[in-house]
Amino acid sequence: MKYVYLFVITLFTLLTSCKQRVYLTVSEPPIVHLDSEFTRAGFINRSFSGGKSKTLETIDNAFSLEGNLDLKGSNAAIRGAYDRLTTNQRFEYLALMDSLTVENGGIGVFPAPLTWNEVDAQCKLGNVQFLMVLEVYDTDTKISYSTGMTTKQTPLGSVQVPVHNATMTTIIKTGWRIYDPNRKLIIDEIYLTDRLSSTGSGINPVAAAATLLNREQAVKQISTRIGENYALRIEPQLFRVWRNYYNKGSQNLTTAKRRSEVGDWDGAAEMWQKDLDSPKRKVAGRATYNMAIYKEISGDIDGALELAQKAYADYRIKEGQIYANILRDRIARREREKALSGQ
């Protein structure tokens, strides 16, 4: 049994040692598709209530230990989305616009959408083409208590004394909408949540809770992060992926391996190119497959798909079929993005 195990390990090593792994950063279409002409965005905080709901909101804040956290946190959230998109070169102008109040809106639920007349008016006011609106912002805080014993040093030595522990959990709920006035569509509507937990200890419950109350900065930081993450929904998604390529079978494949190890992919491709017409079927297939990866590294996904298909169809390189399926999925997502963005 021992020798069978060693044989399997040796065989696996031989089968896998002819390949080498490369990591790539690939771009996928954004989750939310914007009109390709949209380069001017307005940001509005519409999470404030008026009328009877304002009274309910005040009562809710009092009972949930919020104070003015919702005001500061919601402003941090909308600012986070704004700041994130300032790094996106597709936008030529971004505007932080005046807040809006929702009459008799609910607590923690989406209010009725802005009317399209209101959307048009806000876009004209801000000289923008679409609106990203924070519609819901609510923090819900709960404190739980427990007791235990701890050792305390006294003039009489170490003694066991009771200790009160308090745990405060703040859940931050946000709701976002993006209004497209051209198509009269709400092109995105989603809830995002996060939470903040902290603990404190003291000789009694009041002392334990007192150590937790200074959490404003943490709530603002988390709210900023929520806003940044929301803005990412309209940006291309970047992912780290890996690809295996062949590094043995011919002198050219071996030389290409050394060049790739120092980041010289053009030099590696030069070697692979020489083996495309190799009389050895396996060598030509491996070189064709490797050239597909080089095409993807260079940004030519269509060229990569063509070579991956050839590696499988003409040379029976099984990895070529799997790779071709991956590339076809990428191309399909790209084409859907183009169609949705009107390009």
CB 242 within 8 A of CB 23: yes
255 shares a domain with 335:
yes
In percent, the amount of the chain with pLDDT more than 70 equals 82
pTM tops 0.85, yes or no: no
281 shares a domain with 184:
no
CB 165 within 8 A of CB 201: yes
319 shares a domain with 182:
no
191 shares a domain with 288:
no
248 shares a domain with 229:
no
260 shares a domain with 124:
no
Residue 270 lies in a domain: yes
Residues 6 or more apart in contact with residue 24 via CB below 8 angstroms: 240, 241, 242, 243, 296, 297
217 shares a domain with 136:
yes
186 shares a domain with 59:
yes
Q: Residue 102, Cα to own-chain centre: how many angstroms?
A: 30
118 shares a domain with 253:
no
Residue 164 lies in a domain: no
* Amino acid at the residue 280: K
Q: How many domains does the chain have?
A: 2
Alpha-carbon separation of residue 313 from 36, 268, 286, 319 (angstroms): 38, 24, 13, 11
d(CA 79, CA 77): 5
Q: What is the reported pLDDT for 208?
A: 61
Q: Edge to edge, what strands does the sheet with 93-96 contain? A: 93-96, 40-45, 130-154, 157-180, 185-202
What confidence tens digit (pLDDT) does each residue in 11-52 have? 344 444 588 888 888 877 888 988 889 999 999 999 987 655
Alpha-carbon separation of residue 340 from 41, 183, 187, 233 (angstroms): 18, 12, 11, 15
What confidence tens digit (pLDDT) does each residue in 222-274 have? 999 999 999 999 998 888 889 999 999 999 999 999 999 998 999 999 999 99
CATH number, domain containing residue 87: 3.40.50
276 shares a domain with 193:
no
* Amino acid at the residue 245: Y
Neighbours of 6 (CB within 10 A): 10
Question: Which range marks the domain in which residue 212 is found?
Answer: 40-140+171-197+206-237
The DSSP call for residue 30 is -
Residue 26 lies in a domain: no
Return the minimum-mean-pLDDT range out of 48-57, 193-202, 294-303. 48-57
Residue 73 lies in a domain: yes
d(CA 68, CA 47): 13
pLDDT band at 286 (very low <50, low <70, confident <90, very high): very high
Cα angle, residue 303 at apex, residues 302 and 308 outer, rounded to 5°? 100
Residue 7 lies in a domain: no
* Amino acid at the residue 40: R
291 shares a domain with 215:
no
179 shares a domain with 274:
no
Residue 3 lies in a domain: no
The DSSP call for residue 29 is -
CATH number, domain containing residue 266: 1.25.40
